[in-house]
Structure 1
Amino acid sequence: MLDSKHLHTAVQVGAGLALNVFPAIFIAIYARIAPIDTQGFLALALVVGVYVAQLFNAFVVEGRLATPDAEGDLGLPLWVVLLTIASGALLVIGPAVATTAALMTSSVGVMTGLLMARSIGVVSGAWKREGLGAAVLIVASAIALWMSVQHNPQCVRVLAVGAVLAVLVRYRPGRALPRMGFPPDVRRSSWVTAETAVVGVVQPAITSLLLVMVGPAASVTFRVISTVAGAVEPILAYGRYRLLAHGHRGELAPFTVVFVAAMVAVLIAAFGGLGSLIFGPAWRDVGVAALLLACLWKGFMLLSTVPFAALRKAGKTVPVFWIRGASTVIYLMISVGFLLVWHAPAAIFLSFVVAEMITALIYHRAAVKDASDYAAAFGLRQLRERLS
């Protein structure tokens, strides 16, 4: 029987997996009720929404975690809740196939609420609220997906209501951050946000290139594969926050085991027919090679997460910014080069694998130099001693 620690971890990880439910089901619904051009724009809107959400999350949450002497408990700011409600209302009161402006606005607002509520839930350890919020979102998404199969125009509204409720469940008025979440160290939070902005621009840029160079079908396929492989992204995020809060000692082994198990489960489910069942027509162009490459890319992200967290925990925000900036340049250069040669999503994921390998090596060298705890565990001398 699971002890309380393992139960809490399992619930938190499961709640993190639910974070990807909203964009995945949104794409699956539009694959059934919207024209291909609108599907292509939705793919772009969702990736932009995730990008903007990451910026807000970096400034408010991660910047605070990178400030060792910050006071007060983390709590979801009221403005995030209001933004989520207003953004979700656009989908509730509007037509099932929304305008481009409504799609972009709702994607930004809802994803900001879901991501920030999730991040704060992980750090605060509020596993019961996390579990309840995830359950609400999953149930609403399942109902919305079933309705879309029946071509019921209310499906998008059900999905939007579920996302808003998932954020409201996590909101605790008495625990909101002081000063509406404004960080205690603006300079440090600005560096954290800047590095997030630099590294996060890859996905919107590549999605836009695919939309323009290859067409909306390719951008939808790219987004579907990214979403499936991204099912393990919340585990990476959970592990990153745990490593930031507690360091790698005692955290790395269970983090790795959960990640590998989740990746195997994702591949079995995807190839076992669940991908086609959920995404319907949008799954038609998903290739085995592209999906395997996408999962391999996420695996290499596991390698870079550990030295990244060690540097961030050591307060090395400026070096991390420059590393992430260099990584973005590497990603974009290799991705554009591969895309010009092979006009297919698989080429993008192959370029991501190569770029992430290079990034992991850069992080490792920097962490050995600037993060003493990481160097003590993973430095070349220590590794030689273990092998001897």
Structure 2
Amino acid sequence: MSVPTKYFQGIVQVVAGLALAAFPAFFLAIFARIAPIEQQGFLAVALAIGSYAAAVLCAFVVESPLATPGAAPPRVLPRWMAAVTAGSGALLVFGPSVPSAPILFLGVVGLSSGLLMARSIDIVTGRWKTEALAAAILLTGCTTGLVLSFEHNPHSARVLVIGVVLAVLTRLWRAPRDPQSLRPHHTRRAAWVTGETAVVGAVQPALTSLILVILGPAASVTFRVVSTITGALEPIIAYGRMRLLAHGHRGEITIVAAIFAVGVAVLFGAALAGLWHLIFGPAWSGVTYVGLLFACLWKLLMLVTTVPFAALRREGQTAVVFWVRCLGTLVYMVLGVSFVLIFRTPTAAFIAFALAEAVSFPIYYLAAKRTTGKIA
């Protein structure tokens, strides 16, 4: 494979991954027009918990084999995950246009898990054409649902959900049978990998819930809107992490950094042009440029930390990663809760996140240097 072709495929996968952020963003935008503010606040929490559950499940099935020398992750989306996604979608499609809290929670968790696992497997296996097709289907469903919500159409959320389900099921088209199952290759390493993902991932849903309780549903929605918009940068970071875990090429991070810079410019350009206000409607009213700036800075620092993190994980140092991430999570929680309680604004949470990630990087760096002797 020539270098230009390899880079082109990488760029396609990163750009296609941006569609992953469309699901929570457009779901929030649709609910801002068809649901009362209380339900919008719960959706914000449900999306945070859904992302958390998806990350934990993906760590168990996809990432733990990457931390096990000689093991291989699933080559295609497991059939059971496809069934869970379809069942979760059915709950939302055949239920009320604004579902009850338990139904909304179950539906969001299943859809988020299917989207993330399907994309992660495509990144590792390099199935960029399938990823691009799935992204096109997902964006079509999200955009159609959003347009319908402008007219307060009760079916708008259902159309979005159908797009998500079809995007996930597309991964099974012409997919070979894969003997991989839910059982990991190395149970002990899988426990470490899944455990540290669970510990780190708890920060977002915990802070979203705290903001909902302390500052109210409007502030919770604002926090989730900013998280969702800057979440468009998350697939870029995830691509870099997966490629570093699977292959360890230093050149990959250069591509990711360049696309990240473009992504930040696009986010702020869209904000200045009024695109986010058009999409999110009333949900955008509480967002500030300062909050958006610190959220992007936080994501940038996460990208930097990915390099020593991947070096540790790739060498099978799962126990070291677990304890380092536990320490980092403690810093996140202490700063995040303190800043929210003191300043009582969603922006304070993103300032705390940026500070916490800045503190975490030297911890990862020193651990990687001491344990593996290298950081990439």
Smaller-chain TM-score bracket:
over 0.9
Partner of 1:255: 256
TM-score, L = length of structure 1: 0.94
3-state DSSP class of the match of 2:181? helix
Matched ranges for 1:121-160 at <5 A: 121-160=122-161
3-state DSSP class of the match of 2:263? helix
- The structural deviation recorded for 1:132 is 0.3
Matched ranges for 1:227-238 at <5 A: 227-238=228-239
1:347-378, Cα deviation, whole Å (9 max, x unpaired): 1111111100001111111111112332xx7x
1:28-51, Cα deviation, whole Å (9 max, x unpaired): 000000000000000000110110
3-state DSSP class of the match of 1:373? coil
Give, as a single letter, the amino acid of the residue that structure 1 aligns with 2:262.
A
Structure 2 Cα separation of the partners of residues 352 and 292 of structure 1 = 12
Per the alignment, do residues 245 and 215 of structure 1 end up closer, same or farther by CA in structure 2, a change over 3 Å counting?
A: same
State whether structure 2 residue 265 is matched by structure 1 residue 267: no
Structure 2 Cα separation of the partners of residues 125 and 296 of structure 1 = 29
Structure 1 Cα separation of the partners of residues 181 and 137 of structure 2 = 26
Which blocks of at least 5 consecutive residues in structure 2 are unaligned? none
Is residue 33–residue 151 contact of structure 1 (8 Å, CA) maintained in 2? Answer: yes
Matched ranges for 1:373-384 at <5 A: 373-374=374-375
- The structural deviation recorded for 1:176 is 4.6
Structure 2 Cα separation of the partners of residues 344 and 117 of structure 1 = 35
Is residue 61–residue 73 contact of structure 2 (8 Å, CA) maintained in 1? Answer: no
3-state DSSP class of the match of 1:151? coil
Partner of 2:43: 42
- The structural deviation recorded for 1:246 is 1.7
Give, as a single letter, the amino acid of the residue that structure 1 aligns with 2:185.
P
Matched ranges for 1:57-76 at <5 A: 57-71=58-72, 74-76=75-77
Structure 2 Cα separation of the partners of residues 312 and 208 of structure 1 = 30
Structure 2 Cα separation of the partners of residues 190 and 23 of structure 1 = 28
Structure 1 Cα separation of the partners of residues 176 and 184 of structure 2 = 15
Is residue 76–residue 172 contact of structure 1 (8 Å, CA) maintained in 2? Answer: no
Structure 2 Cα separation of the partners of residues 286 and 356 of structure 1 = 22
Is residue 76–residue 176 contact of structure 1 (8 Å, CA) maintained in 2? Answer: no
Structure 1 Cα separation of the partners of residues 82 and 33 of structure 2 = 30
Structure 2 Cα separation of the partners of residues 275 and 263 of structure 1 = 14
Give, as a single letter, the amino acid of the residue that structure 2 aligns with 1:85.
A
Which blocks of at least 5 consecutive residues in structure 1 are unaligned? 378-388
Structure 1 Cα separation of the partners of residues 233 and 354 of structure 2 = 16
- The structural deviation recorded for 1:71 is 4.7
3-state DSSP class of the match of 1:178? coil
Partner of 2:18: 17
3-state DSSP class of the match of 1:251? helix
3-state DSSP class of the match of 1:70? coil
Partner of 1:114: 115
TM-score, L = length of structure 2: 0.97
- The structural deviation recorded for 1:220 is 0.3
Partner of 1:85: 86
Partner of 2:216: 215
Structure 1 Cα separation of the partners of residues 177 and 370 of structure 2 = 38
Partner of 2:300: 299
1:52-93, Cα deviation, whole Å (9 max, x unpaired): 111110000000111121157522111100000000001110
Is residue 75–residue 172 contact of structure 1 (8 Å, CA) maintained in 2? Answer: no
The alignment covers a number of residue pairs equal to: 374
Partner of 1:29: 30
Structure 2 Cα separation of the partners of residues 205 and 261 of structure 1 = 30
Matched ranges for 1:347-386 at <5 A: 347-374=348-375
Partner of 2:183: 182
Per the alignment, do residues 350 and 209 of structure 1 end up closer, same or farther by CA in structure 2, a change over 3 Å counting?
A: same
Moved over 6 A (4+): none
Structure 2 Cα separation of the partners of residues 193 and 54 of structure 1 = 9
Is residue 73–residue 180 contact of structure 2 (8 Å, CA) maintained in 1? Answer: no
- The structural deviation recorded for 1:3 is 4.0
Is residue 11–residue 127 contact of structure 1 (8 Å, CA) maintained in 2? Answer: yes
- The structural deviation recorded for 1:318 is 0.4
Partner of 1:383: none
Q: Which moved more, 1:325-334 or 1:172-181?
A: 172-181
Is residue 133–residue 166 contact of structure 1 (8 Å, CA) maintained in 2? Answer: yes
- The structural deviation recorded for 1:6 is 2.9
Is residue 96–residue 154 contact of structure 1 (8 Å, CA) maintained in 2? Answer: yes
Between the two proteins, what is the percent identity of the paired residues? Answer: 52
- The structural deviation recorded for 1:174 is 4.8
Give, as a single letter, the amino acid of the residue that structure 2 aligns with 1:109.
G
Give, as a single letter, the amino acid of the residue that structure 2 aligns with 1:324.
R
Is residue 88–residue 164 contact of structure 1 (8 Å, CA) maintained in 2? Answer: yes
Structure 2 Cα separation of the partners of residues 33 and 72 of structure 1 = 41
1:286-313, Cα deviation, whole Å (9 max, x unpaired): 0111111111111111111110001101
- The structural deviation recorded for 1:11 is 1.5
Partner of 1:386: none
1:317-363, Cα deviation, whole Å (9 max, x unpaired): 00100011011110010111111111100111111111000011111
Give, as a single letter, the amino acid of the residue that structure 2 aligns with 1:236.
I
Q: Which moved more, 1:364-373 or 1:201-210?
A: 364-373
Is residue 46–residue 104 contact of structure 2 (8 Å, CA) maintained in 1? Answer: yes
